[in-house]
Amino acid sequence: MDIKKLLLFADVAETENFTKTGDRMGYTQSGVSHLLKSLEDEIGFSLFIRSKQGVKLTGNAKMILPGVRSLLAMTEHLEQMISEINGLEKGQLVIATFSSISIHWLPKIIHVFQQNHPSIKIKLMEGGTDDIVNWIESDLVDFGFVSKRNTKSLDWISLYEDPLYAVVPLDYPAPEGGIFPIEKFEGQHFVISAMGTDYDVHHALSSSGVKPNIDFTSKDDHAIISMIENKLGISILPGLTCHNFESHVSAYPLKPFCSRTLGVAMKSKKDLTPAALKFLKLTKDMMPELI
């Protein structure tokens, strides 16, 4: 079975659009359609339901998609091992990440990595906890930078303990001693990250028994900060998220201390590609200058 056809099938399953997949992978729309029709003839059943809005997977296609993604991941791993044996470096690294990490950590890491390994292509996929866990389990990414909470049974490498802060408008009265007791959130107008995007803030509130009035939820950290700045509520946010927003909002350490554990989640450490292993080694080496 032609790996190129399977790559196209997996990409169309993500884009739901033949033209978009063709643009991403260097084919015309008709070329994508022809190759996937050939794949359908080869396996003996239809893969897509076509409409004016795009394409959707058939039931049979959904059944084989996890196996196709696993095969493609193993093929990428094998190709990188062969390249290493031949003294070459090539391949692709797909990394899932929180937006705060893609802003504050990854640009520096990727810059150094690409200087040392210029032939390895890197693709980033930003999302919340549930997105990242799903992408790892579905073999859409090699690994993910994420908070440890709710990463289920994935393998894990810890990198940094990121404190949680009370975040309020600039003119909000400063708490005594510069420390914000978490019970002060009780009954307050509150802006919170959407469940599934973040679990650490939800856990900090539930474990303390505090119940604020949740007026707004958002998947976007910057949107939450903007809402706080415009006095739509107060919140709890990780320190990495608050970084560089000191002129927009005030942030105070919580009492009791709360934090999230940031690190790297993956399906299996032993199955990481050579490129992934090199990227993670570089990440651990660079952590002291990133935090």
- Please name every residue paired with 191 in a beta bridge, in sequence order, or none if there are none: 216
Whether the predicted pLDDT of 108 surpasses 80: yes
Whether the predicted pLDDT of 90 surpasses 80: no
Residue 183 lies in a domain: yes
Whether the predicted pLDDT of 26 surpasses 90: no
Q: What is the mean pLDDT of residues 41-47?
A: 90
Whether the predicted pLDDT of 129 surpasses 70: yes
Pairwise pLDDT comparison (1 vs 206), residue with the higher score? 206
C-alpha of 132 from chain center:
4
Q: What is the mean pLDDT of residues 62-73?
A: 90
Residue 238 lies in a domain: yes
pLDDT band per the 50, 70, 90 thresholds, residue 25: confident
Residue 126 lies in a domain: no
Residue 284 lies in a domain: no
* Cα–Cα distance for residue pair 96/126, rounded to 1 Å: 6
Q: What is the mean pLDDT of residues 267-290?
A: 92
- Least confident range of 24-28, 166-170, 225-229: 24-28
Residue 287 lies in a domain: no
Question: For residues 135 and 141, is the Cβ–Cβ distance under 8 A?
Answer: yes
- The model carries a pTM of 0.74
Total tally of structural domains belonging to the chain: 1
CATH code of the domain containing 214: 3.40.190.290
pLDDT band per the 50, 70, 90 thresholds, residue 106: very high
Question: Domain range holding 211?
Answer: 160-261
* Cα–Cα distance for residue pair 243/262, rounded to 1 Å: 15
pLDDT in tens, 185-195: 999 999 999 98
Specify the pLDDT at position 125. 95
Whether the predicted pLDDT of 230 surpasses 90: yes
Whether the predicted pLDDT of 119 surpasses 70: yes
Q: What is the mean pLDDT of residues 125-153?
A: 93
pLDDT band per the 50, 70, 90 thresholds, residue 87: low
8-12, 80-84, 226-230, range with greatest mean pLDDT: 226-230
Average pLDDT value over all residues in the chain = 91
Whether the predicted pLDDT of 146 surpasses 90: yes
Residue 200 lies in a domain: yes
Whether the predicted pLDDT of 88 surpasses 70: no
Residue 175 lies in a domain: yes
Pairwise pLDDT comparison (84 vs 113), residue with the higher score? 113
Q: What is the mean pLDDT of residues 59-75?
A: 90
Q: What is the mean pLDDT of residues 154-169?
A: 96
Residue 180 lies in a domain: yes
